[in-house]
Amino acid sequence: MKKKYHFIALGFLLVIFFITLPTIQSYLTKASFDKKKEVVTETIVVSSDELFAIAYKQLNLAQKLDSSTKYSLVADEVRDGYEEVTLMYHYLYKHPDIESIKVELPITRYQDNNKTIEFISGKGNIIKVLENGEWKDFETIP
């Protein structure tokens, strides 16, 4: 009778293990990626249309990575970058007099075998705005 309960308990533990295996694999893969992670800050000048295109590209990358067990945790970082780019886009949308912005963006690169995953990974800093053909410090804009 005790053996029967042991087998049931072992079976239950195996089911739990196999259910959580993809999550465990994702965290181990992410830890491996983080060892090869490269984060640089790039300064770019973009218009609202260009920001929209960047945001769209980020969203597509997040969805693609999210559908993969291997890259699902990287997708969370990509989504964070998407949200930050979207905030900048909305700022430009609300201020149509601003033609472009000069912004510093954190760019993360993960190398996985022959594949490089590159994306905006966090909060960007708007440095200057182009308004009426003149560059102005961002702090001077209300």
Place of tokens 């308004």: 131
For residue 142, pLDDT over 60 is answered with no
Q: How far is CA 101 from the centre of its chain?
A: 21
Domain ranges of the chain: 2-140
Write the pLDDT tens digit of every residue in 21-72: 676 777 777 777 777 788 999 999 999 999 999 999 999 999 999 888 778 8
Tell me the pLDDT tens digit for each residue of 90-139: 999 999 999 999 999 999 998 887 888 999 998 889 999 999 999 999 87
Neighbours of 67 (CB within 10 A): 10
8 Å CB contact between 65 and 71: yes
Residue 6 tokens, joined: 């042991």
User: Which amino acid makes up residue 123?
Assistant: K
Q: What is the pTM of this model?
A: 0.75
